[in-house]
């Protein structure tokens, strides 16, 4: 009887692991498809925004808005690197855009948190998990933006580093394994949309809606299955390893994000773990910071194929900005508590009324930066 129960238990676990892999693949594919659908009607607009900025404050808002539109700081910074490398954009004008991109990239995980909107406790944790990334990046910009405008220390430090590096490593390339796996499915969906509806705007909207539906479905089942399969064990692992050693958590987040080349994906996965109660907000925070550093690898790789050293300089600015932000905020408990405190407050507000996170989403990512760009340009 015990043997039969054990075999049944193993079969059940195998079934759950298989389903996690299936829904994780659907989740990763839908995130990529969502980004692709937004790029269909957003990338050209973002390029036009980025290439015509000179005011640092406007540059900051443009980086935020452009990244929120295409949902990828890697794409925004890679475009910026390309513009800087060919001389279209100066390094000084590019630095604020990179800072804004760091805030804009959090829009994906924020959208993912709405998958739990019908479940009170999970929604509170998911909103907190998504916005802790927001508040950390906003706090980092709040501290470093005025310093950079007055001293240009990021720009000068990056120029000093690239001066030592010279042109070493040009032509390096790396393909994200996640991108390799999900690209066939994304390409198929995009090509089907193009065959049926061509360049019609409604086709892009339908593709975006389809990707959002898949995100919601895949995350719903991921959270449900993970809670029953790995909740206790994963809680112990995260608490014993990440909870006791924040530095290791930062390194883990950095390596994982550098490997998949997307902080949007890695932080979105973290949001699902937080929502499911697998990992606490405090234990997830170092992993989020590591993701900020890991995502800079894409721009660095993009810069290595450039003909001038300027592209590499702005890529190092992106890396250095994230590292300095961690060094200024995380080691000091009063600073470290600010993003966590604000994120938890946002989670509490979210369950009081669903309108609060919606206002935050529209206001921070689109309305305020769009309005400021419109006024000052």
Q: What is the per-residue pLDDT across 195-253, written as a single tens digit (0 to 9) for each?
A: 776 666 677 778 777 877 886 677 667 666 766 665 455 555 555 666 667 888 888 88
pLDDT in tens, 85-119: 666 678 888 899 889 988 887 887 888 888 778 78
Residue 300 tokens read as: 């660095």
Rounded CA-CA distance 90/314 in Å is 9
Which of 239-253, 274-288, 321-335 has maximum average pLDDT? Answer: 321-335
Residue 136 tokens read as: 């950390």
15: Cβ contacts below 8 Å, ≥ 6 apart = none
Mean pLDDT of 353-360: 88
Residue 41 tokens read as: 């009607």
DSSP state at residue 89:
S
Rounded CA-CA distance 30/98 in Å is 26
pLDDT in tens, 3-61: 444 544 777 777 877 887 888 788 767 766 766 665 555 555 555 655 556 688 888 88
pLDDT at res. 166: 58
CB 99 within 8 A of CB 146: no
Which residue is associated with the tokens 């079934």?
Answer: 15
Residue 54 tokens read as: 């000179």
Give domain limits for the chain: 18-376
DSSP code per residue over 117-157: TTSHHHHHHHHHHHHHHHHHHHHHHHHHHHHHHHH-HHHHH
CB 299 within 8 A of CB 81: yes
Rounded CA-CA distance 73/35 in Å is 11
Q: Is the pLDDT of residue 354 over 70?
A: yes
* Global pTM exceeds 0.85: no
Residue 32 tokens read as: 């990529």
pLDDT in tens, 283-317: 889 989 998 888 887 677 666 655 567 778 888 88
DSSP state at residue 332:
S
Q: Work out the pLDDT band at 159, boundaries 50, 70, 90.
A: confident
Which residue is associated with the tokens 């550093």?
Answer: 293
Q: Three-state DSSP class for 296?
A: coil
Q: Is the pLDDT of residue 171 over 50?
A: no
Q: For all residues of the chain together, what is the average pLDDT?
A: 77
Using CA atoms, how far residue 117 sits from 29, 94, 122, 296, in Å, is 22, 37, 8, 31
Rounded CA-CA distance 308/87 in Å is 9
CB 33 within 8 A of CB 126: no
DSSP H or E run through 306: none
Rounded CA-CA distance 346/203 in Å is 35
């Amino acid at each position: 009887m015990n043997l039969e129960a054990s075999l049944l238990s193993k079969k059940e676990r195998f079934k759950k692991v298989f389903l996690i892999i299936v829904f994780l693949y659907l989740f990763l594919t839908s995130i990529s498809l969502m980004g692709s659908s937004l790029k269909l009607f957003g990338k050209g607009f973002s390029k036009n925004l980025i290439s015509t900025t000179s005011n640092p404050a406007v540059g900051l808002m443009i980086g935020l808005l452009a990244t929120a539109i295409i949902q990828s700081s890697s794409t925004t910074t890679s475009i910026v690197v390309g513009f800087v490398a060919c001389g279209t954009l100066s390094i000084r004008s590019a630095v604020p855009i990179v800072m804004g991109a760091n805030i804009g990239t959090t829009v994906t995980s924020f959208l993912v948190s709405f998958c739990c909107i019908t479940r009170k406790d999970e929604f509170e944790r998911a909103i907190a998990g998504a916005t802790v990334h927001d508040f950390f990046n906003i706090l980092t910009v709040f501290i470093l933006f005025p310093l950079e405008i007055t001293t240009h220390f990021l720009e000068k430090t990056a120029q000093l580093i690239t001066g030592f590096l010279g042109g070493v490593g040009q032509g390096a390339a790396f393909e994200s394994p996640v991108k390799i796996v999900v690209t066939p499915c994304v390409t198929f969906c995009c090509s089907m949309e193009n065959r049926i509806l061509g360049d019609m705007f409604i086709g892009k909207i339908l593709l975006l809606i389809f990707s959002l539906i898949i995100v919601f479905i895949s995350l719903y089942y991921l959270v449900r299955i993970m809670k029953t399969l790995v909740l206790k064990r994963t809680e112990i692992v995260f608490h014993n390893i990440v909870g006791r050693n924040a530095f290791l958590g930062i390194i883990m987040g950095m390596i994982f994000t550098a490997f998949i080349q997307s902080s949007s994906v890695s932080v979105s996965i973290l949001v699902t773990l937080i929502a499911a109660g697998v990992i606490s907000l405090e234990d997830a925070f170092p992993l989020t910071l590591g993701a900020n550093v890991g995502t800079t690898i894409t721009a660095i790789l993009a810069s290595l194929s450039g003909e001038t050293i300027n592209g590499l300089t702005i890529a190092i600015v992106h890396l250095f900005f994230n590292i300095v932000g961690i060094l200024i905020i995380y080691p000091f408990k009063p600073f470290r508590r600010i993003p966590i405190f604000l994120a938890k407050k946002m989670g509490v507000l979210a369950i009081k009324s669903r309108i609060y996170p919606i206002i935050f989403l529209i206001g921070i990512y689109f309305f305020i930066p769009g309005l400021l760009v419109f006024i000052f340009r």
